[in-house]
Amino acid sequence: MCGIVGYIGNRNATPIIIEGLKRLEYRGYDSSGIAIIDKDSKLKLYKESGKIIELERILPAPKEVYGNIGLAHTRWATHGEPTSTNAHPHTSCSGKIAIVHNGIIENFQILKNKLLAQGHVFASETDSEVVAHLIEHFSRKTDDLTLAVQEALKLVEGTFGIAVISEDHPDRIIAARKGSPLIIGIGKNEFFVTSDVSAIIIHTKKVIYLHDDEIVTVTRDSFEITTLENEVVEATISEIDWDVSSIDKGQFKHFMLKEIFEQPISVENAFRGRLVPKLSTTRLGGLNMTGDELRILEKIQIVACGTSWHAGLIGKYIIEHLSRVQVDVEYASEFRYRNPIIPKNTVVIVISQSGETADTLAALREAQARGVRVLGITNVVGSTIARESDGGVYIHAGAEIGVASTKAFTSQVTVLSLLAVLLGRMRHLSPVFGTNFINELKGIPEKIQKIIESNAQIRKIAETIKDATNALYLGRGVNYPVALEGALKLKEISYIHAEGYPAAEMKHGPIALIDENMPVISIVPKDVIYDKIISNLQEVKARNGRIIAIANKGDDVVSELAENVIYIPETLYDLQPLLSVIPLQLLAYHVADLRSLDVDQPRNLAKSVTVE
């Protein structure tokens, strides 16, 4: 969601943090701002609604806004409209203290009322501005800026990733986190503060991930981390394992298209080094569970949001089919509030691309509070979910910049498939099946590449539905969640209303919507329920529905029913989603692009949802 970039060192901070902001544009935002302490130790503030280019238009020439320390922010509106006044950074009454804040302050109104009564004057409608005034309040009692920030944050209820600078202390940045990611980048005689390593990867790969309730004081040549209770914390320095080329579009028009095309590589990276052909099984060492613990496992509870939830649903089909272990899948936001029943010998698996999804993280903590082992599946090394899980698996998809997830989804499904084989081979699954599955999985990247080669044809099909107002996606079995994911992609980036349904459920309501204007996108692979899906399509055809089918090559029956067919290679039933989702991703992408929409930054959406 919102993005934070801060710099302190010997270079001009302005171009560094503006460039950092641009690398965070993919996260979703509606305004931006920058605060610089100039060479005369004066705080300069510039804010504007809209894209970062609008902020750049109001910035003076670099020599007029030169300073070695500064903060910048992209805001995704929660409290107050997306205006320049509500944009960050926010300042105190004196104008000497500036803060940027990610998260939500739940008790801001109570704090604001107290501050108003003390004479503080507020300029914005935001919850965040409260923090600037609180820090000013405590600064009147101490000359120690770190202590003032500590005391202020002790009064705050909610979540925060926060960074602070002050005219009276022009040699330091104070930053703290609780429930919202914050990272310290270590350069040569310089430091960076950010909510996302993408903003600073061009400058350094050495980072420190702050933990909840930690606060850091950063100067030009040193840093110190303590808890909010002032206990010294020993820092752990991590190395980022990807480079700036991962966040460059290269020859592609959009990051989303680039990431769709990267899936042959990202899927292979998800299973690389995790296949054990000699034993017809897989290896997932990060689970931190013994063979005996895995064998007595009776239930898995998968908890996730959005696209990760769809991956979890596919995981349910595959794990139950191969291992006969019961799997339930639940939205994280529902799990944490409904007092869930978690039986003995249950493992909770939380899935999140970013590893920072607020509802998923809260579900993780709720499960652990009940004494349940929690495994995390995430893409980001050092993320909160990665650190707090009892074990887990990285999907190794590389940086995913497009807000609408694509390669992370297929990598998550790949990892869940590996888990299914591992559990299955510990139970009843034969070596012959295990070997066959592994060999077929090895061939999936090449088959994905074959589908990608149909990109031009898929764009032509997209032209036939780009003006639709509604669309229906149908799938059965393991492809039902793929239909949900395909509909979500179309909604996210093209703003066309779309719904995914199990094909047989179409008769129980959605069939009333079908007419010559309704595109019906159906996944029709050759499997045990193929004839059932054909019957469903005949019902659509009888009502003049416009069918776009995802089918296996050589299927002449489907071609007689469908207006357009996108052919995909055959594979094992459990691996079908890794292929059938690719055309749906491309279809959604091209529809949005043909409608001249901002594919990578769809309206109202954010890449990492770090608030409830």
Question: CATH number for the domain including 190?
Answer: 3.60.20.10
Residues 409 and 490 in one domain: no
Q: Does the pLDDT value for residue 157 go beyond 60?
A: yes
Residues 189 and 218 in one domain: yes
Residues 183 and 295 in one domain: no
Q: Is-catalytic flag, 305?
A: no
pLDDT at 1: 60
| Residue range 227-236: mean pLDDT, rounded | 90
pLDDT at 244: 64
Residues 146 and 124 in one domain: yes
Phi, psi of 480 (to 5 degrees): -65, -45
| Residue range 390-419: mean pLDDT, rounded | 94
Residues 75 and 158 in one domain: yes
604: in domain: no
What band does 518 get if pLDDT is binned at 50, 70 and 90? confident
Q: What is the mean pLDDT of the chain?
A: 91
Q: Does the pLDDT value for residue 386 go beyond 70?
A: yes
For strands 169-178 and 160-166, give the pairing.
Answer: antiparallel
Residues 229 and 310 in one domain: no
pLDDT at 239: 86
| DSSP 3-state of 197 | helix
Structural domains counted in the chain: 3
Token pair belonging to 374: 């929690």
pTM as predicted:
0.81
| Residue range 410-436: mean pLDDT, rounded | 96
Q: How far apart are CA 351 and CA 285, in angstroms?
A: 17
Q: What are the residues facing 301 on neighbouring strands?
A: 328, 348
606: in domain: no
Last residue of a domain, one of 208, 240, 272: 240
Residue pLDDT, tens place only, 559-576: 889 889 999 999 999 999
Last residue of a domain, one of 447, 474, 498: 447
Domain of residue 489, residue span: 454-597
434: in domain: yes
Phi, psi of 405 (to 5 degrees): -70, 135
Residues 134 and 156 in one domain: yes
Residues 437 and 460 in one domain: no
| DSSP 3-state of 577 | helix
| Residue range 141-147: mean pLDDT, rounded | 94
Dihedral angle of Cα 225, 229, 231, 237, to the nearest 10 degrees: -30
607: in domain: no
Residues 236 and 262 in one domain: no
Catalytic residue among 44, 407, 447, 607: 607
Last residue of a domain, one of 447, 472, 501: 447
pLDDT at 245: 63
**Could you tell me what percent of the chain has a pLDDT over 90?**
74
| Residue range 49-72: mean pLDDT, rounded | 88
Residues 263 and 388 in one domain: yes
Q: Is-catalytic flag, 93?
A: no
215: enclosing H helix or E strand: strand 214-218
609: in domain: no
Q: Does the pLDDT value for residue 507 go beyond 80?
A: no
pLDDT at 281: 96
Token pair belonging to 281: 């099984």
49: in domain: yes
Residue pLDDT, tens place only, 594-608: 999 989 888 877 655
Residues 485 and 395 in one domain: no
Q: Does the pLDDT value for residue 400 go beyond 80?
A: yes
Helices and strands (DSSP H and E) totals, the chain: 19, 26
Residues 287 and 196 in one domain: no
134: in domain: yes
Q: How far apart are CA 550 and CA 566, in angstroms?
A: 5
Dihedral angle of Cα 52, 55, 60, 64, to the nearest 10 degrees: -70
| Residue range 430-451: mean pLDDT, rounded | 97
608: in domain: no
pLDDT at 484: 97
Q: Residue 324 sits in a domain of what CATH number?
A: 3.40.50.10490
Token pair belonging to 30: 């509606």
